Amino acid sequence: MITVAVIGAGNVAQHLILAFQKAKDIQLVQVLARKPKQLTHLLGSHGIVTEYSQLKEVDLYIIAVSDNAIATVSSQIPFKNKLVVHTSGSMELNVLDSKNRKGVFYPLQTFSKAKPLDFSQIPIALEAENESDYTVLETVANAISTQVHHINSEQRKALHIAAVFVCNFTNHLYKIGNDICIENNLSFDLLKPLILETADKIITLSPTDAQTGPAKREDTVTINAHLNFLKNHTQKDIYKLLTQSIIDNGKKL
């Protein structure tokens, strides 16, 4: 039985808490949170502490806080030579205080409090300073997910950037689609089957094979009609840049 403490109360912390509660062979001993109210629906008041001095000795401390708070949080853990990991895609291993053994436990997913997730399908990128610490992380990760990977800091940074493109930027394109619908008295619901199918295609087709649309066909008549229709300058700029990038990609094939 590996004992774990989670530090944090945000989206990632909450989904980790839920996953550990269901996991065999993992004992979630404590959660440390500045804002414990965010967690009472998950834990009751039992198991939540607010002060670092209340932290118990466990096998693994998982810091699930915002990137810029990781260094401070890790320096406040009142132990030495324990295994302490953060959950960030973009932060170096060395942002963690060196009084403890460092590692990374990065679940690659977009977490919203309002939406439940099947953690077993979420890839977890692991990094540790030595083999025995890596084995502990691997055991904990395998207890909640079937997608566990050893990924070094440089690769993790690349993975995080790729995630920004396919998740954050994609969601912003949904926002633009939504805005265009609203401006034209159309329901955004009309676009939802298309959004789901566009994502679903990628499971079986490569993005190059899945590409469709006027840019792929270099259909300049339609492209110009669309640019003419768009009045919002940012939408126009995004349309132009992505269209040109699709056309340039087609020429490389």
Q: Which of 35, 54, 94, 158 is close enough to bind its own copies by CB under 8 A?
A: 158
Measured CA angle at 109 (ends 133, 26), to 5 deg: 40
- Regarding 111 and contact with its own copies (CB under 8 A), the answer is yes
**Footprint (CB under 8 A) of its own copies, residues 6-65:** 11
- Regarding 146 and contact with its own copies (CB under 8 A), the answer is no
Q: Which of 27, 78, 129, 167 is close enough to bind its own copies by CB under 8 A?
A: 167
Q: Which of 25, 67, 129, 218 is close enough to bind its own copies by CB under 8 A?
A: 67
* CA distance linking residue 11 with residue 17, whole number of Å: 10
- Regarding 224 and contact with its own copies (CB under 8 A), the answer is no
- Regarding 203 and contact with its own copies (CB under 8 A), the answer is yes
Across the chain, where does the E strand assignment appear? 2-7, 26-32, 48-49, 60-63, 83-86, 101-107, 124-128, 148-150
Give the N- to C-terminal CA distance of the chain in Å, as an integer. Answer: 52
Kindly compute the dihedral angle of the four CA atoms of residues 238, 240, 243, 244, in this order, to the nearest 10 degrees: -120
Measured CA angle at 131 (ends 126, 132), to 5 deg: 100
- Regarding 176 and contact with its own copies (CB under 8 A), the answer is yes
* CA distance linking residue 73 with residue 120, whole number of Å: 28
- Regarding 201 and contact with its own copies (CB under 8 A), the answer is yes
- Regarding 183 and contact with its own copies (CB under 8 A), the answer is yes
Q: Which of 59, 93, 138, 216 is close enough to bind its own copies by CB under 8 A?
A: 216
**Footprint (CB under 8 A) of its own copies, residues 78-107:** 90
Q: Which of 135, 185, 218, 251 is close enough to bind its own copies by CB under 8 A?
A: 185
